[in-house]
Chain A
Amino acid sequence: GQNIDQPTEMTATEGAIVQINCTYQTSGFNGLFWYQQHAGEAPTFLSYNVLDGLEEKGRFSSFLSRSKGYSYLLLKELQMKDSASYLCAVLDSNYQLIWGAGTKLIIKP
């Protein structure tokens, strides 16, 4: 079966750095997405990785290792508005998006 694992919840301090991990087992791989979802709102796109390595976009970076079936989202200089759920999703061999359950990130002052 297809499976995506993320921690259920994480807590971090304003101004700090946090890394949210995602491991996946899917039938094929055509890329990995990270989405941000604030409570009561729709998911919004953060990043897409299809090749191994680190993609940096401002305060957010996303890393992929295809051989390990592993990705992480790195958030720097945390702000209170970063409190949200972060969803990892993998595009499988049929170009279907397989979603993880999301990681709820709580930022404390």
Chain B
Amino acid sequence: EAGVAQSPRYKIIEKRQSVAFWCNPISGHATLYWYQQILGQGPKLLIQFQNNGVVDDSQLPKDRFSAERLKGVDSTLKIQPAKLEDSAVYLCASSPFSYTYYEQYFGPGTRLTVT
């Protein structure tokens, strides 16, 4: 079974530039999560999708971050414009369902450096 795919793995941009990350979840997984993980901290949920609908985006800085999951499969997360404090690893995870216990399967992450 193929795992969660993410690209790019690394990205360096200057502040005020834009960047986009891509995630392809495990086939058949209805729920997709985007997390931000700053060095030395636990993951922080940015947005959760159930199929192509948003379940929770309460911690997404909507003035600069946006995410979509067209057709309920792969997803993109965009930052526009980036700030220095956005430097972090962006993790995508998927699970079969959201409203019961299922472990989350994480992709390798995208390490973003904003200079």
For residue A30, which residues in chain B have a CB less than 8 angstroms away from its CB? 101
The range of chain B's interface size is 20 to 34
Cα(A42)–Cα(B107), bound, Å: 6
User: Are B109 and A100 neighbours in the complex by a CB distance under 8 Å?
Assistant: no
Are B41 and A101 in touch, CB under 8 angstroms? yes
Is the beta-carbon distance between A44 and B106 smaller than 8 angstroms? Answer: yes
- Asked if A48 and B100 make an inter-chain contact with CB atoms under 8 angstroms apart, the answer reads no
Task: Indicate if A74 sits at the interface (CB-CB under 8 A).
Answer: no
Residues of A within 8 A of B109 (CB): 41-42
> Which residues of chain B have C-beta atoms less than 8 A from A45's C-beta?
103-105
Nearest opposing residue in chain B for A88, CB measure: B42
Are the C-beta atoms of B43 and A99 separated by less than 8 Å? Answer: yes
Which B positions have Cβ atoms within 8 angstroms of A? 40-45, 48, 56, 91, 93, 98-101, 103-109
